[in-house]
Amino acid sequence: MELRDPVISLEAIEVKLGGMPILQDVSLSIGQGEFIVILGPNGAGKTTLIKLLLGLVKPSAGSVRVLGQTPHRGLREIGYVPQRRTLDVELALRARDLVGFGLDGHRWGIGLPSRRNKEKIDLALQEVDALHLANAPVGQLSGGEQQRLLIAQALISDPRLLLLDEPLANLDLAHQQEVVALVDKVRRERGVTVLLVSHDINPLLQFTDRVIFMANNHTAIGTVGEVITSETLSRLYGSTVEVMYAKGRYFVVGAEV
Amino acid sequence: MFAVFQYPFIQNAFMAGSLVAITTGMLGYFLVTRGLTFAGHALSNIGFAGAAGAVLLGVSPVAGLLVSTVGAAVAISVLGREIRERDVAIGVIMTFTLGLGILFLSLYHGYAEQAYSILFGTIVGISRSDVWVTAGLSAGLMVVLALVGRPLLFSSFDPELAEARGLPVRLLGSLFLVLVAVTVSIAMQVIGVLLVFALLVGPPATALRLVHRPASAIGLSIILGLAYTWLGIILAANSTWPVSFYITTLAFGIYLPVRYLAKYRVDKQARRERGFHLQSATGSLENERPSADTARPMKGLHHA
């Protein structure tokens, strides 16, 4: 699929970490406002792909362009939510402080509170429907609430690209749906491009435009119907993989996803 | 009780102690939130070797402390990138330097008093020039902390995001360890290398249980540190017991009930929230963490 003005374009990308090839010959381009889900088993290179886009890892071959430039650290137009464990219960940090890091956490100095920042933080909290949690200590909030705050933190710098690394991990189904619905709302309202890493396509089926499936150093990109098939996955894994579709959900048999 | 303040050495102890309480209160907050308490403990033990070596050579123990702890801070940040790896590196360096320290002490044939005060602190040995040195180093610490405070906090809570935002996260970590090293060095005079830890960890750990925003936690941590130190000095001046005993006992005696009561408060709140979940749940009684049987369809089927 050719895009005229891609937000992300990778050409024949190869990434090695400690001499081991993690990504091989990855070429893809992603347009403005697309909702892309990145799938694949642990160690397939999903997080590496995200870090490539952030400029945290460099390709050993190929070219990568993000928002019209070579990726480098500190790009404010990218909102990023790293993969994480749940936050410490004893963290002396309010929701408001956490979201505020997205605004000025990287600036030198102490960071005195200002009315302008407070308004921006309130707006961001409102966007993820968490204004009522503003002064709650983050460590005592549920996983879903924490995830919403982290999304607010990523949105506060008005990014054009949102990178979410496993935002659904450790959430039950109800909270997964809540987070996915929020991400989709943000995408529609802001027109941002979303790349979301997940282990499970099912909660994302009705929202995703295309998926990137990574396994065994191979990568496939396309719509769910194109990629989540027995043929494509068998090719990626290099072994027989069966995909079944039942009751509106995909099931993969014969491979770790 | 307060008549002791007419003695110059008590005034000196009081001034040096206050500076120590302020710097340990600030640095200790970052130490606890960064999960580096073991590093703080190790740096003070490493400082023991430096101070003992300095005493043996007849130079200022504070100078020995500074050289050994700052050197160790740099070595630790070079050797260990990951926390687990770092703790092993710290342990190896710490035990080696403790061995060195005991060697220096056995080679030293002067007053045992001097070695004793390195380990456990004293309020009688602090001169006015010690106070000035402490004041200078404390001022330096505060200036650096004012410059790096926000990024340091950000990278403590979310190193990955901080790195993506362009912050030199590793460099900040190394700089922070150097700041801890300097703090340990000035705190040694009042409370001694073995017990610096009480001021570095006690007040911030207590404060973290009581308040929920970074600025308040740092403020409360400083207030608690000052209270422990002042009370400790006054009590020690009016008795024959050592000042570090009073300070550590106060730190422990306050932390314990706060920990118990604050934990109770958290539990109560958690219970209330869970109750709320049950009422508002839309046909789902699931808790946050998925249990073993909330299988992810894409994942689990091939096991079946």
Query: How confident is the model at residue A150, as a pLDDT?
Result: 94
Tally of domains in chain B = 1
Residue A158, Ramachandran bin (φ over 0: left; ψ between -120 and 50: alpha; else beta): left
Query: How confident is the model at residue A89, as a pLDDT?
Result: 64
In a domain, B28, yes or no: yes
In a domain, B291, yes or no: no
In a domain, B222, yes or no: no
pLDDT band at A86 (very low <50, low <70, confident <90, very high): low
Calculate how close chain B gets to A174, using CA atoms only, in Å.
8
CB neighbour class for A31 (10 Å; exposed up to 12, middle 13-18, buried from 19): middle
Rounded Cα–Cα distance for residues B171 and B150 (Å)? 15
Thinking of the domain A1-77+160-257, which architecture would CATH place it in? 3-Layer(aba) Sandwich (3.40)
Nearest neighbour of A110 by CB, restricted to B146, B282, B299: B146
Q: Which residues of B touch A98 (CB under 8 A)?
A: 157
Q: Which ipTM value was assigned to this complex?
A: 0.89
Range of the domain at B121: 2-197
Query: How confident is the model at residue B265, as a pLDDT?
Result: 54
In a domain, B248, yes or no: no
pTM: 0.85
Contact A172/B162, CB-based, under 8 Å?
no
Contact B213/A97, CB-based, under 8 Å?
yes
Residue A43 three-state SS? coil
Buried b (16+ CB within 10 A) or exposed e, A129-160: ebbebbebbbbbbbbbbbbbbbbbbbbbbebb
Query: How confident is the model at residue B281, as a pLDDT?
Result: 34
Geometric angle at alpha carbon B286, from A256 and A204, rounded to 5°: 45
Tokens at residue B184, please? 């340990």
Q: HSE of A160 in the Cβ direction (CA atoms, 13 Å)?
A: 11
In a domain, B230, yes or no: no
Residue B297 three-state SS? helix
Calculate how close chain A gets to B270, using CA atoms only, in Å.
7
The mean of the pLDDT values for chain A is 91
Query: How confident is the model at residue B109, as a pLDDT?
Result: 78
Residues 6 or more apart from A50 whose CB is under 8 A from it? A38, A80, A163, A165, A195, A197
Report the DSSP pairing between strands A210-215 and A35-39. parallel
Contact B151/A97, CB-based, under 8 Å?
no
In a domain, B67, yes or no: yes
Tokens at residue B293, please? 């049987």
Query: How confident is the model at residue A15, as a pLDDT?
Result: 94
Task: Spell out the domain ranges in chain A.
Answer: 1-77+160-257, 89-158
Assign residue B144 the CATH number of its domain: 1.10.3470.10
Query: How confident is the model at residue B70, as a pLDDT?
Result: 94
Q: Are B197 and B40 in contact (CB under 8 A)?
A: yes
Contact B163/A255, CB-based, under 8 Å?
no
Report the DSSP pairing between strands A161-165 and A78-81. parallel
Calculate how close chain A gets to B226, using CA atoms only, in Å.
21
Query: Range with the lowest mean pLDDT among A87-91, A145-149, A228-232, B237-241?
Result: A87-91
Query: How confident is the model at residue B263, as a pLDDT?
Result: 60
List of chain B residues with pLDDT < 50: 271, 273-304
In a domain, B233, yes or no: no
Q: Which residues of B touch A257 (CB under 8 A)?
A: 298-299
Residue B200: alpha-carbon gap to chain centroid: 3
Tokens at residue A226, please? 């194109």
Tokens at residue B63, please? 């100078």
Rounded Cα–Cα distance for residues A109 and B171 (Å)? 16
Geometric angle at alpha carbon B199, from B196 and B200, rounded to 5°: 80
Rounded Cα–Cα distance for residues B177 and B153 (Å)? 14
Rounded (10°) CA dihedral B158, B161, B166, B168? 30
Residue A57 scores a pLDDT above 80: yes
Residue A201 scores a pLDDT above 90: yes
> Looking at chain A, which residue has its C-alpha nearest residue B270?
A140
Rounded Cα–Cα distance for residues B183 and B197 (Å)? 11
pLDDT band at A3 (very low <50, low <70, confident <90, very high): low
pLDDT, tens only, B241-294 = 888 899 999 999 999 999 888 765 555 555 454 444 433 333 333 333 333 333
Calculate how close chain B gets to A73, using CA atoms only, in Å.
5
